[in-house]
Amino acid sequence: MALLDLDIALGLRSYELKVALGVDRETVALVGPSGAGKTTVLQSIAGLRRPDRGRIEVGGRAWYDREARVNLAPEQRSVGLVFQEYALFPHMSVRQNVAFGGPARVDELLDRFGIGHLASVRPTAISGGERQRVALARALARGPEVLLFDEPLSALDAHTRTIVRAELEDLLADLGLPTLIVTHDMRDATALAHRIGVMVDGELRQLGRLPDLLQHPADAFVARLTGANVLPGLAGENEAVVAHPWELTLAAERPDGARAVPGTLHGVVPEGDRMRVRVGDVVVVVDEGEVERLGLARGAPAWAVLPPGPPRVVAL
């Protein structure tokens, strides 16, 4: 049995959420569009929403069990919850915010997260990255058995987000707690999580490590979420071929004996030492200078060429 083990169902406005999931000393990210039910899963674990049926166990102890009539109150659940906007108390200092989670480890946590010099400052006077450190320190001050994050990086600007994402990755690795993160950003999920679960309309479509999702997507939605091209018309009825941008090549003319998609070349954007281009709606990543070598320019007809061998096919 995993340290965090849940199998719950809950009727929502447009669908029934059904999620079965186990999390050990690892980080699992739930990714999907707004309204997929991701935050509802966190709320159910924390005791803020009551499932219609099922169970939630942590360390072998039931926090919720419909059949056994167990439903611990939120304050009885050993959870560290970091909200999307951090939910810090603006009238309290950083020290007081952390102590709200629990007073015993305040100095240790302030030092651990490098925010000791901000102890007397209020949250409104510190940066977004610093506020996240305060929120995480407060969550850990409870001595939680489980950590829950609701869109932990969405409130940050792009530059700060990159820095804090790297810091959070290191911190979570050191903590070794069962951690569940919900996000709509695949980049955050791949950077922070050991496993990624894709949720749509309350359903966990696929759960696995990133290579599994890249190479064996369960369906077209999962494939698109990982950044792959989904190409209908190249496989059977109600099916599509999946190809990642780096797997495709670019051609000025249709190559003989190869699967290829025609289109107009546009969206030529540098990406490190490579170039990301679009052929119609198909994204191709090529070496820098490849567009010029082929004599192509924006607006010219071009072909996105699939790799040889059996194609990767998913249901539409």
Whether the predicted model's global pTM rises above the 0.85 cut: yes
- Classify the C-alpha dihedral 38-166-111-179 as positive or negative: positive
CA distance to 46, 127, 173, 274, 276, per residue, from 135 (Å): 16, 12, 18, 38, 37
Start-to-end CA distance of the chain, whole Å, equals: 34
Give the pLDDT of the chain (316 residues) as one tens digit per residue.
679 999 999 999 889 999 999 999 999 999 999 889 999 999 999 999 999 999 999 999 999 999 999 999 999 999 999 887 788 999 999 999 999 988 888 999 999 888 999 999 999 999 888 888 899 899 999 889 999 999 888 877 778 788 878 888 888 888 889 999 999 889 899 989 999 999 999 999 999 999 999 999 999 999 999 999 999 988 888 899 999 999 999 999 999 888 999 999 999 999 888 999 999 999 999 998 999 999 999 999 999 999 998 899 998 8
Which residue type, as a one-letter code, is found at position 165? R
CB-CB neighbours of 190 under 10 Å: 17
Cα angle 86, 153, 122 (rounded to 5 degrees) comes to 35
Q: Give the domains, in start order, of the chain with CATH numbers.
A: 4-78+145-220 (3.40.50.300), 230-315 (2.40.50.100)
| pLDDT on residue 172 | 84
Pinpoint the alpha helices (H) of 141-280. 158-175, 186-192, 210-215, 220-225
Go through the chain and tell me how many residues it has.
316
Can you list the pairs that 126-131 forms with residues at least 24 positions away whose Cβ atoms lie under 8 Å?
126/94, 127/160, 128/155, 128/156, 128/157, 128/160, 128/164, 129/156, 129/160, 129/163, 129/164, 129/167, 131/86, 131/88
Structure-token pair, residue 178: 């069962």
Q: What is the CA radius of gyration of the chain?
A: 23
| pLDDT on residue 92 | 93
The DSSP element (H or E) to which 85 belongs, if any, is: none
| pLDDT on residue 242 | 96
Structure-token pair, residue 64: 């919720």
What is the DSSP code (8-state) at residue 225? H
| pLDDT on residue 26 | 94
| pLDDT on residue 175 | 83
Query: Which of these, 269, 302, 262, lies nearest to 288 by C-alpha position?
Result: 269
| pLDDT on residue 220 | 94
Structure-token pair, residue 253: 């003319």
Distance between CA 167 and CA 170 in Å, rounded?
Answer: 5
| pLDDT on residue 54 | 97
